[in-house]
Structure 1
C-alpha cells in the first residue's frame, strides 16, 4: 500500500469512529495536557505524530489499546482529531479540516490555535 492511501485510510478510520449520532453532543475541543501534546478523547499526539505512549499516559490503557496502533503500515504523522482538526507533522501545521481543493492542495484554513499547541509555532 502507498503512503497517501494509508493516510486517507487513517483519517477515514478516525472519522468513522467518531461520527456523531442524532442525539450525541458535538465532540469536545482537543486538550493540551502539557506543552507540545494534543489529545482528543481517542488519541494523543506530539510533534512526531500520534503516540501510543502519550495516549496511554493521558487517556489510559483502554484508549491505548486502540487497534490503530496495531496497524503496521499506518502513517501516524497525518491525522484528524475527533473535532475535525487535521494535523500534518511533515508540514508542522494543523488545519480546520483535511480536505483538498481543486488545485490539489489542502483547502482547510490553518488553525493557529492548534498549530501552536502542537508545534509551538
Structure 2
C-alpha cells in the first residue's frame, strides 16, 4: 500500500469515528425557559403545540420567521424536537421517538421528564 493510499484510508477512518460524536453533540437537550414551555434550538412549544409567539420570545424573531409558521396544512400539535423527543398535545405525552410498530401503536417509550416539563403531568 502506498503512503498516499494509507494516509487517505487513515483520514477516512478517523472521520468515520468522529462523526457519531459530532452528531451526538448536535442533539442537545431541550430547554424549559418557563413552566409549561419546552424549546429546542429551532422552536418552542407549550401544551397547545408549537408556538410562534413563544419561539419569538425565547429564541428570537429569526427563529420565529421559520416557514413552518406560514404553512397552513401543518399540524402543530404533534411535533418532534431536534433531539428526537416526540410530543403529542392530544395525548398530552412526550415519547422517546415518533415511530409506529407493526401493531400501529407508537413504539417510543414515554418520556416522563419531557411530559412533565411540557404538560405538568
Name stretches of at least 5 consecutive residues in structure 2 with no aligned partner. 1-18
Aligned residue pairs, count = 100
Q: Output the CA distance in 1 between the equivalents of 2:68 and 2:35.
A: 24
Q: CA deviation at 1:102?
A: 1.1
Q: TM-score scaled to structure 1, two decimals? A: 0.80
Deviations 1:55-100 (A, max 9, x none): 0000000000000001011000000000000000000000000000
Q: Output the CA distance in 2 between the equivalents of 1:109 and 1:101.
A: 12
Report matched runs for 1:17-36 at 5 Å. Answer: 22=19, 23-24=22-23, 25-36=25-36
Name stretches of at least 5 consecutive residues in structure 1 with no aligned partner. 1-21
Partner residue, 1:112: 112
Partner residue, 2:95: 95
Deviations 1:28-79 (A, max 9, x none): 1000000000000000000000000000000000000000001011000000
Partner residue, 1:62: 62
Q: Output the CA distance in 1 between the equivalents of 2:26 and 2:61.
A: 24
Any idea what SS the aligned residue of 1:114 has? helix
Give the structure with higher Rg (CA): 2
Q: Output the CA distance in 2 between the equivalents of 1:31 and 1:65.
A: 20
Partner residue, 2:5: none
Structure 1 or 2: larger helix share?
2
Q: Output the CA distance in 1 between the equivalents of 2:86 and 2:60.
A: 23
Q: Output the CA distance in 1 between the equivalents of 2:26 and 2:103.
A: 31
**Structure 1 runs (4+) greater than 2 angstroms displaced:** 22-26
